[in-house]
Amino acid sequence: MDHVTIAERGYANSLTERRPAVSADRLIAELVPPPRFAHARFATYIPDAAEPSQSAARDLLSERAAAWSGGGSGGKSGIRGLLRRSSSAAGGEGRGVYLDGGYGVGKTHLLASLWHETEGPKVYGTFVEYTNLVGALGFGPTVAHLATQRLVCIDEFELDDPGDTVLVSTLLTRLAEAGVQLAATSNTLPGQLGEGRFAAADFLREIQGLAARFTAVRIEGRDYRRRDGASAPDPLSDASVRGYADGGESRFVDDFDALVKHLSTLHPSRYGALLDGVEALGLLGVRPIEDQNAALRFVVFVDRLYDRSVPVLASGVAADRLFTPELLGGGYRKKYLRAVSRLISLTKAGAALVA
């Protein structure tokens, strides 16, 4: 998509034309469940009847929400006593709850439900959003702000480098010492964070320290986004993608390679703002990503698309061919598979718009 055509239309319908700025105040204000999960509640979670671990996790978190909100126990000591009983019943003494399981089993829905049904003050964000907050505010001010919360929810908990390991270990230690309750989701057990990505043995003490702060709850099951067995939708034609994007100023279209390059020029904390006001996104010439850094950035971008339920209309290759076999065979495999699952959902929504 050339810039002349975009300019002639009189409006910026290309994400590559945007370079949003994100203030620290906005980062703090957005520490709430994303729009897709704004109405998530335990009552709206639909567990797979064949997987009892799903309903068990829902019931445990519902109990924690009551405990952390007071639950009639009266005072902090009452809350902590009930929390200790809950932890023992769950098979561990961790302060917080750590939901472990494959992608698409409803972990984010459950975490958002916990946030909605626990009395505040409280914050909710992805792991990336918290590290972005530290970058914007500094470590001390971030700890000071989060330490005032009753509950801190961390979605998509992951450690991509040794620096993050030490940073998050220290952050969670400070919050736990301040009496903040912690809840997290991940595709990796806390004791295995970092495996396959850096010399985990060099940071074993920090990783074990993280694990000790959580009661790990395993959730089994299939990807609910693909329970019907459907595969990725067939790619659309360039003409179909452009034709739909031409229908309104809130419909954006970008050449895939150009967008991937543009993402490399923006801090991931800006990816959400990049999608402000975007009704649908067209991607022309989608092809497998070979570079790992580009792939990891695109994973974060897909998460922001999914958070905002932005349909994707794509030409090129299907969503399940986005990452090369080499990348899928590496240490970030689970991240890539989660992104593929989410992108399949979004491209199904996009294909339906032009069906």
What are the pLDDT digits (tens) for 316-339? 999 999 999 999 988 788 889 889
Backbone angles phi, psi at 293, to 5 degrees: -60, -45
Distance between start and end Cα atoms, the chain: 23
- The SS3 call for residue 73 is coil
Q: Within 10 A of 85 (CB to CB), how many other CB atoms are there?
A: 12
Residue 80, classified by CB atoms within 10 Å of its CB into exposed (0-12), middle (13-18) or buried (19+), is middle
pLDDT (mean) for 15-24: 93
DSSP bridge partners of 289: 323
- At 272-289, the pLDDT tens digits run 999 999 999 999 999 999
Considering the domain 31-222 in this protein, what is its CATH number?
3.40.50.300
pLDDT (mean) for 89-113: 76
Residue 344 and residue 225 in contact, taking contact as beta carbons nearer than 8 Å:
yes
Residue 176, classified by CB atoms within 10 Å of its CB into exposed (0-12), middle (13-18) or buried (19+), is middle
Rounded Cα–Cα distance for residues 146 and 137 (Å): 12
pLDDT (mean) for 76-92: 38
Residue with tokens 């922001």: 304
Backbone angles phi, psi at 34, to 5 degrees: -65, 165
Residue with tokens 């349909």: 311
- The SS3 call for residue 137 is helix
Provide the edge-to-edge strand list for the sheet that holds 181-186: 122-126, 151-155, 181-186, 96-101, 214-219
pLDDT of residue 188: 54
- At 58-81, the pLDDT tens digits run 999 999 999 988 743 333 433 333
With 90 as the cut, is the pLDDT of residue 308 above it?
A: yes
pTM greater than 0.75 (yes/no)? yes
Overall residue count recorded for the chain in this entry: 355
Residue 351 and residue 233 in contact, taking contact as beta carbons nearer than 8 Å:
yes
Lowest mean pLDDT of 1-5, 179-183, 348-352, name the range. Answer: 1-5
* Average pLDDT for the chain: 82
pLDDT of residue 196: 44
Closest CA to 34 of 97, 121, 106, 109: 109
pLDDT (mean) for 305-315: 96
pLDDT of residue 239: 93
DSSP state of 118: S
H/E run at residue 189: none
Rounded Cα–Cα distance for residues 96 and 104 (Å): 22
Residue 294 and residue 302 in contact, taking contact as beta carbons nearer than 8 Å:
no
Give the count of alpha carbons within 13 A of 108, CB side only. 25
Rounded Cα–Cα distance for residues 269 and 132 (Å): 6
- CATH 3.40.50.300 domain locations along the chain: 31-222
The b/e string for 205-243 (b: 16+ C-beta within 10 A; e otherwise) is ebbebbbebbbbbebebebbbbeeeeebbebbeeebbbe
- At 196-232, the pLDDT tens digits run 433 334 434 555 666 777 788 889 887 666 555 567 8
Rounded Cα–Cα distance for residues 222 and 51 (Å): 9
pLDDT of residue 246: 87
